[in-house]
Structure 1
Amino acid sequence: MSKPSKEIFKAYDIRGIVGKTLTVDTARLIGQAIGTEARSRKISTVVVGRDGRLSGPELSDALSAGLMASGINVIDVGRVATPMLYYAAYELGHLSGVMVTGSHNPPDYNGFKMLLGGDTLAGPDIQDLYRRIVEKDLAEGEGQLSTHDIADAYLDRITGDIKLARPMNIVVDCGNGVPGAFAPTLFRRLGCRVRELFCDVDGTFPNHHPDPARPENLQDVIEALAKTDAEIGLAFDGDGDRLGVVTKEGNIIWPDRQLMLFAADVLERNPGAKIIYDVKSTRLLKPWITENGGVPVMGRTGHSFMKASIKETGALLAGEMSGHVFFKERWYGFDDGIYAGARLLEVLSRVDDPSALLNALPNAVSTPELNLATAEGENHRLIETLQKEARFEGADEVVTIDGLRVEYPDGFGLARASNTTPVIVLRFEADNETALERIKADFRRVLSSVTSAKLPF
């Protein structure tokens, strides 16, 4: 059996093109490597789940076979959202699970998100799985397979805790991703009237891609809100760990502003709590968290880094611009878009006009996330050079925990190396358009000194 493609072993997960860089044989080897690592950590059982992609069943079966070949017992929870796999890992007592998911990648992709003993595998841990396979450093044994349906327990756990102040009238767009099998049921059980858009699970994603971070994927929600008496719109990504929110008028409430609402709610009950936000998030979060009695903490982008930071700091809430929100208060500290949707409705149900509450959250002039394409690995080298050499005009502070976030008196600019693709991620925010243009010009000057590539701004 040939060794797997090294490029599929990413910073936060394993991800490849089905039948090309990610085959059934590769999935089995990865399962055996994960099982070997689990045994080294004295773990005996791993939960396995899959999203709605067409390749899910065969890859899940192969992964499970590999885990059992290493001597690990497997509990197969079937087709679930990623947060339901995490929930099963916690509730079934092992804190260990592997989710077979392509997240928001195109239909021909799939991959694995991994949790062992409560720790999300990332960075060096994922590279070590590749090493185990190449060096044939793989345990052998005969694990047992069992199955378990986690859906009812998951839904009961949420409905037992979250209560809406009044029934709500909502649009839910699942983009044919796996949340369609669970989210509408949950919101109806919470007392909502639900208009479903693309909630039948279809791994070809025939309507639009299940990625609420892109405005074009929210147009169906915007249209439904305009044409019906629904008061708010929710959208989910392909595996259910991210949430999109749209107001009645069609305004998209980006995740860093969603975090403001969640932070104010959590801090009402837990004054002095730490709230984590990533380097891509708005600079308006820091004063907002402080004014609401919390302690703001800026962290690195990436779900595995966020979870590690929650453990280190004891934070009760964390969120990142990509849409991953992590509730530690009343929940488990993992990213769960479906649960976040329920928490949002709990807050919004207390007011007569949910859209007015959302629209009133502090806002700034900003760019979307911009990507500067580079050669493989070049993005990290360029950022390291800039961290050492770059000088920014009129900057108050340069934060280097994840790339370069340059704080100015009236805005910020960000350049960081993506950990999943060979691009430099850029984002700019300011008090007004004039300040935004000045900050972009400063970054243009600095970036042009290290690269001749065409800048995307």
Structure 2
Amino acid sequence: MAEMINEKIFKAYDIRGIYPAELNEAAAYAIGRAFVKKSGASEVVVGSDMRVSGPALKRELIRGITDEGANVLDIGLVSIDVVYFAVGILKYQAGIMITASHNPKEYNGFKMVLQNMSWVRGQDLRDEVLHLSEELADTKGRVTTIDILPKYTDHVLSFVDRKKIKPFRVVIDAGNGMATNIIPLLEPHLPIEVIKLNFVLDGNFPAHPSNPLLPESQVQIIQAVKEHQADFGVIFDGDTDRLFFVDEQGTFIRADYTLLILAKEFLSRQPGMGIVYNIICSKIVPEKITEWGGVPILSEVGFVNISKAMREQNGIMGGELSAHYSFRDNAYADSGFIAFLILLQLLSEDGRALSEIVKPFYTYQKSPEVNIEFSDRSQIEQIIGELKKKYQTGKQNTLDGLTVYYQDWWFNVRASNTEPLLRVTVEADTQEILDSNLADLLAFINKAK
């Protein structure tokens, strides 16, 4: 069995790879068995998104789970937060979502959670998968199909007062992903007019890539917001854990600004609470959270780390630049639909256009993330060590890679969790300061390679 498993699929947060070259049916079967062995679960909720390879991988995953003696509760084609709801709120023992999130159509994978909403990381399951015994359980598990979507719908709607929501016109781009199935469940309970884009499930993503951050993914929704004179737009990725907002002028709202919008709403509900943000968010984030009476909580990059920091440091919500937004009352898990609903209520109560609400956040100049490829990860650690010495006059933080703060600029360099890449982020008070320091930083890194 082990010789048929590609070790590249075991990532920092989940299991993911190209189907079938890296992730195939044999791997799915082994993962199902290994998950039951490691977790000790006697029942596992299984959901999947619309990717073309999903049915084949799901069939073998379920066979592996049941061969190991655990029962499967099949919840069908769902968004990923439905699996989180099943485990975190309904208290089923464990859950697996078959998805590759925003990755290209060739990919698929598994995200795995346990009842206390602790994530089973891909790397944690690696050895169990590679060293499975041939012995199966004496009694095979059963498969039951269940429908938890009515309860899920009630849960996400509970985060807002629907009577306060105004009849906005909203463009929603489902991207041929799972928002196709969930938005129609919410729509009858809301007074809004929804202009739908790409509301047909299709794992080939014919309209545009599943990643909303790619420029080619943004063209259609920007045009639609302007054409329909919409109040704002929303674009989801394939499994809906990421969503981005577009203001009434057709401008994409950066995810750390959206975090601030949501944070202000939660702090008005519960003053003094903690808001989690990651190390590469703009420094306007902790400044505003403090100004509004909240407690800024710094986290490593990654939605798993956001959730962990919320739980450990009394956070009420958290978010990051990848557009995951997590909520304490959602069992510390992320949900794009809860974020969408809260923004609806906030815009209704505020009265200003979305562009006006975010305008005060455009204080600093920030570079897009720069990715520099290396031949191996050891080189990256060496470079980070050299950067520590070069920038020793700044205030340094090693929570996630290296972050160095100066009075009028800061930078973060960190290794990718999945590839031999050094990720570089720089922010400054002015564009001139940004350009100068980014150029110096990149020149040093490239010279030291």
What is the TM-score of this pair, normalised by structure 2?
0.93
Aligned length: 443
Q: Which residue of 1 aligns with 2:67?
A: 69
Q: Which residue of 1 aligns with 2:84?
A: 86
1:26-63 Cα offsets, whole Å, 9 max, x none, are 10011000010121xxx321110000111111211211
Contact 1:327/1:333 (CA < 8 Å) preserved in 2? yes
Residue 389 to residue 357, structure 1, CA distance change in 2 (3 Å): closer
Q: Does 1:130 align with 2:123?
A: no
SS in structure 2 of the partner of residue 209 of structure 1: coil
Residue 275 to residue 395, structure 1, CA distance change in 2 (3 Å): farther
1:385-431 Cα offsets, whole Å, 9 max, x none, are 52466334585412111111221211221211111222111122111
Q: How does 1:179-328 map to 2 (within 5 A)?
A: 179-328=179-328
Residue 54 to residue 208, structure 1, CA distance change in 2 (3 Å): same
Q: Which moved more, 1:154-163 or 1:333-342?
A: 154-163
1:112-147 Cα offsets, whole Å, 9 max, x none, are 001023244355xx3342212322257732212111
Q: Which residue of 1 aligns with 2:336?
A: 337
Contact 2:19/2:108 (CA < 8 Å) preserved in 1? yes
Q: Which residue of 2 aligns with 1:105?
A: 103
Q: Does 1:437 align with 2:435?
A: yes
How far residue 184 of structure 1 moved from its aligned partner, in angstroms, is 4.3
Q: Which residue of 2 aligns with 1:348?
A: 347
How far residue 327 of structure 1 moved from its aligned partner, in angstroms, is 1.2
CA distance in 2, matches of 1:305, 1:180: 28
Q: Which residue of 2 aligns with 1:454?
A: none
Counterpart residue identity of residue 23, structure 1 = N
Q: Which residue of 1 aligns with 2:23?
A: 22
Residue 444 to residue 388, structure 1, CA distance change in 2 (3 Å): closer
CA distance in 1, matches of 2:393, 2:76: 51
Q: Which residue of 1 aligns with 2:12?
A: 11
CA distance in 1, matches of 2:448, 2:135: 47
Residue 199 to residue 104, structure 1, CA distance change in 2 (3 Å): same
Contact 1:187/1:342 (CA < 8 Å) preserved in 2? no
How far residue 172 of structure 1 moved from its aligned partner, in angstroms, is 0.1
Counterpart residue identity of residue 86, structure 2 = A
How far residue 188 of structure 1 moved from its aligned partner, in angstroms, is 4.5
How far residue 3 of structure 1 moved from its aligned partner, in angstroms, is 3.5
CA distance in 2, matches of 1:260, 1:216: 26
CA distance in 2, matches of 1:358, 1:210: 28
Contact 1:383/1:415 (CA < 8 Å) preserved in 2? no
Residue 119 to residue 84, structure 1, CA distance change in 2 (3 Å): closer
How far residue 178 of structure 1 moved from its aligned partner, in angstroms, is 1.3
CA distance in 1, matches of 2:391, 2:51: 48
CA distance in 1, matches of 2:365, 2:149: 41
Counterpart residue identity of residue 341, structure 1 = F
How far residue 381 of structure 1 moved from its aligned partner, in angstroms, is 4.3
Q: Which moved more, 1:246-255 or 1:152-161?
A: 152-161
How far residue 449 of structure 1 moved from its aligned partner, in angstroms, is 4.7
Q: Which residue of 1 aligns with 2:156?
A: 158
Residue 281 to residue 68, structure 1, CA distance change in 2 (3 Å): same
SS in structure 2 of the partner of residue 349 of structure 1: helix
Residue 449 to residue 132, structure 1, CA distance change in 2 (3 Å): same
Counterpart residue identity of residue 35, structure 1 = V
SS in structure 2 of the partner of residue 368 of structure 1: coil
SS in structure 1 of the partner of residue 103 of structure 2: coil
Contact 1:85/1:98 (CA < 8 Å) preserved in 2? yes
Residue 136 to residue 242, structure 1, CA distance change in 2 (3 Å): same
SS in structure 2 of the partner of residue 244 of structure 1: strand
Residue 388 to residue 68, structure 1, CA distance change in 2 (3 Å): farther
Counterpart residue identity of residue 340, structure 1 = A
CA distance in 2, matches of 1:253, 1:225: 13
RMSD, aligned α-carbons: 1.9
How far residue 206 of structure 1 moved from its aligned partner, in angstroms, is 0.3
How far residue 252 of structure 1 moved from its aligned partner, in angstroms, is 1.1
* Structure 2 unaligned regions, length at least 5: none
Residue 349 to residue 56, structure 1, CA distance change in 2 (3 Å): same
Residue 302 to residue 119, structure 1, CA distance change in 2 (3 Å): same
Contact 1:122/1:304 (CA < 8 Å) preserved in 2? no
Contact 1:176/1:200 (CA < 8 Å) preserved in 2? yes
SS in structure 1 of the partner of residue 389 of structure 2: coil
CA distance in 1, matches of 2:386, 2:296: 27
* Structure 1 unaligned regions, length at least 5: 452-457
Q: Which moved more, 1:390-399 or 1:60-69?
A: 390-399
1:354-383 Cα offsets, whole Å, 9 max, x none, are 3244332412211112211222xx246413
Q: Which residue of 1 aligns with 2:56?
A: 58
What is the TM-score of this pair, normalised by structure 1?
0.92
Contact 2:257/2:358 (CA < 8 Å) preserved in 1? no
SS in structure 2 of the partner of residue 54 of structure 1: coil
Q: Which moved more, 1:265-274 or 1:253-262?
A: 265-274
Counterpart residue identity of residue 235, structure 1 = I
Counterpart residue identity of residue 136, structure 1 = L
Q: Which moved more, 1:360-369 or 1:93-102?
A: 360-369
Residue 154 to residue 380, structure 1, CA distance change in 2 (3 Å): farther
SS in structure 2 of the partner of residue 172 of structure 1: strand
